[in-house]
Structure 1
Amino acid sequence: MSDPTASAAPVAGSTADTPSAAPALVYPEPLPADEVEAYHDLRRDAAWFEAQNHWSSIQGPKAMDALNGLVTNDVSQLAVGMGQHAVALTPKGKVVCDMYIARITDDRFMLTVLRHCAPAWLDLARKYINPRLAKVADESDQWGTWMLYGSHAALAVANLGGASHTAENLGDLMADALNAWPVWSHGMWNIGPVSVRLIRAPVVGSLPGFVIMADARDADVVRARLEASTRRRASRAVWNIARIEGGRPAFGVDMDENTIPQEANLDTLGAISFTKGCYTGQETVARVHFRGHVNRHLRGLQATVPIPQFARVFDANGKDVGDVRSTVISPRLGPVAMAMIRREVSPGSVVRVHEGIEATVVELPFPE
């Protein structure tokens, strides 16, 4: 729990804003022509992606209580068939990973994280969850995962076809039903002869879409349906642009083990409950929210020339105020990036990146 006697002073995000050894700068490159088309498909229709998800489960009579004590969101409020965005923290309130949590039954939860985050998450869960109360299982080999996103994502899912119908006779009706699903909800759905779990996850800003979670034994069937569909397969580079435009931070790039979740805007993204009970790392998060503030935030940068990753950011007076994290060249917005910027630099400010690149600070997500 947060300490009511804690100081109201601002809370810094890390022990040092400047890295001890500056990495070599990396400049983004524009998308090839076919990937530009996939990007536009994503905005005007739909496109699908191979996902790099790692799945695990927590199951047992005390699964809800155990998980609720480990993550920032309120798992106790989840009904079966619903999910949420949440964050796992160190005892000092620094990010271990963020995740999607789905309540499958009263005593079974499925969780997905980026694959490179999985070892740290599983270590944390196994350290703090008593196996007599709930079992933590690595299910990474049991599931295949795809993402289908875009303005017409629901129709694209419906057009994959179920076991006993065609897209022509029920596609629009099924798309209407999918569009009515609440955000973060999940449920079973047929794709061809197999049953999958669909998750309506808002992970690229305002673009709607679904995560498709299939039994690994059915993966070839689902992949074949996607490849035979009229929607284009998009690359991870396209996904990365959509993620950045939508203001979604990625662990290992935009946030790391030195990041407090509010610095990465995870509070405004709905991943933190400020009314639930105790959880690992809560004291720092609560102190920031109720009695102080962080000294830096993830912000957008927009420029007319490519913005190099790892570059330092300077304000109008030449003061070092941050560093560039994710950076891309958007077919719609041009060169854009996410940067960790000191809080006194407000959106609309013009900053200098590296050796003279002028960029405008933008509040995330980037405007439509």
Structure 2
Amino acid sequence: MQDWITALGGRQEADDRIAFDTPAPARTALDATVVTPLVHLGVLDVIGTGAERFLQGQTSAQLGLVDGDLAPLTVFCTPKGRMLANAQLLRVAEGHYRLLLHRGLVESLAEHLKKFAPFYQVELTPRDDLALIGLIGQEAAALAEARLAIAPPAPWHQAGDGEVQLLAHPGPRPRLLALLPEAMAAEAWPRLADQATPVGNAVWCLHDIQAGLAWLTPTHRDALLPQMLNWEALGGISFKKGCYTGQEVVARAHFRGQVKRRLARAQLEGGELPALGSQVETAEGKAVGEVVAAELDAYEQAEILAVLSTKEDLGPLTVSGQRLKPLKLPYPIERLDPESLVGDA
């Protein structure tokens, strides 16, 4: 837990959960600009002369596109195509790449990649000394530019320098994410909170759900194909690059249409928040999916992302005894090549 957060009024509720005393934070974010520490996310640096070649052989991203402007989504897989982590990939400097992923997977991904790193003269460093701050709302861009002196980028692009990076993520409201040293975060937070309302990171996670964006957690490590989280629909897989670990299975699933489960968005008719991994069940009690993300919305209803069977007619569904109401995803389930995102800024 970063001391700067508690010093500024944050309250730790779990390793990956921070709250503030702001009443009805999800409802506040509907109208006001809010600021939140993103303690559920972590950072892994990949540094060395062979960093680009190393990552090119391990990840679904086309490393030639990661140029300090485009910061695409990517995924690391087992040889069987199962996800070890999904991430956003930044280029900080020549030979220095940065991965943004769920904090619970930073160490396991580093241990996995260390088996190959010596062959490329690469070092893997979890960055516990960095802070991540999120801004949500119509004034987020103006506030970031005024307080951080960085012009905001387009979604899945980056701005800033070697010390501070600013990312834009999609969602129902404009969202910006700043990565910066903890000492700078302690100074920047009061300036941001002067114009934005502090809220817990559950609000950011809710907006991820509403954006149809699921970050893999330890609950589902080594269990899902990337397409089961709609990763190719979010531009997280390049089908135009060469081989990487798991590429054959991922490509075969795409070109042969063998994905039998997909990420779906839904609301539960009840205020009980299901645990990750909770089963989605038919009226007969048959399990047809699992919850991969869940948060309470502005009206105290549970919104979820679940990996769900692609069979057309599953009938009425429930999670933890609560009826499931399907909601639309904000993007089509079709391939989005990351190459098409170049120049979007």
Supply the AA of the counterpart residue of 2:48: G
Q: Is the 8 A contact 1:56 1:137 kept in 2?
A: yes
The one of 87, 102, 108 aligned to 2:75: 87
Q: Which has the larger radius of gyration?
A: 1
Task: Show CA shifts across 1:30-79 (max 9, x none).
Answer: x999342x324433342111122332322333221111111112112222
Query: What is the Cα deviation at residue 246 of structure 1?
Result: 1.7
Q: Kindly report the root-mean-square deviation, in angstroms, between the aligned alpha carbons of the 2 structures.
A: 3.0
- Give 5+ residue unaligned stretches, structure 1: 1-30, 163-173, 190-194
Question: Hey, what does 2:29 align to over in structure 1?
Answer: 42
Question: Hey, what does 2:230 align to over in structure 1?
Answer: 265
Q: Is the 8 A contact 2:33 2:137 kept in 1?
A: yes
Q: Is the 8 A contact 2:45 2:127 kept in 1?
A: no
Superposed, 1:140-155 pairs within 5 Å as 140-155=127-142
In structure 2, the CA distance between the partners of 1:59 and 1:138, relative to structure 1 (3 Å rule), is: closer
The one of 258, 270, 274 aligned to 1:293: 258
Q: Is the 8 A contact 1:246 1:364 kept in 2?
A: yes
Q: Is the 8 A contact 1:64 1:107 kept in 2?
A: yes
- Give 5+ residue unaligned stretches, structure 2: 1-18, 333-345
Task: Show CA shifts across 1:165-200 (max 9, x none).
Answer: xxxxxxxxx8xx53xx332332327xxxxx952322
Once the two structures are overlaid, the 10-residue window that deviates more, 257-266 or 204-213, is 204-213
| 1:97 match: secondary structure | strand
Provide the identity percentage: 23
**Structure-1-length-normalised TM-score:** 0.74
Question: Hey, what does 1:170 align to over in structure 2?
Answer: none
Q: Is the 8 A contact 2:48 2:123 kept in 1?
A: no
Q: Is the 8 A contact 2:279 2:320 kept in 1?
A: no
Question: Hey, what does 2:89 align to over in structure 1?
Answer: 101
Q: Is the 8 A contact 2:34 2:196 kept in 1?
A: yes
Q: Is the 8 A contact 1:316 1:352 kept in 2?
A: yes
**In the aligned structure 2, how far is the partner of 1:148 from the partner of 1:196?**
19
Supply the AA of the counterpart residue of 1:187: A
| 1:201 match: secondary structure | strand
The one of 338, 342, 352 aligned to 2:305: 338
| 1:250 match: secondary structure | coil
Q: Is the 8 A contact 1:43 1:151 kept in 2?
A: no
In structure 2, the CA distance between the partners of 1:128 and 1:206, relative to structure 1 (3 Å rule), is: farther
Is residue 329 from structure 1 mapped to residue 304 from structure 2 by the alignment?
no
Q: Is the 8 A contact 2:296 2:303 kept in 1?
A: yes
Superposed, 1:117-266 pairs within 5 Å as 117-131=105-119, 133-160=120-147, 177-178=151-152, 181-188=153-160, 197-202=164-169, 205-227=171-193, 229-252=194-217, 255-266=220-231
**In the aligned structure 2, how far is the partner of 1:231 from the partner of 1:201?**
17
Task: Show CA shifts across 1:192-243 (max 9, x none).
Answer: xxx95232231x534322221222343321233234x121111122222222
**Structure-2-length-normalised TM-score:** 0.79
Query: What is the Cα deviation at residue 254 of structure 1?
Result: 7.4
**In the aligned structure 1, how far is the partner of 2:220 from the partner of 2:214?**
7
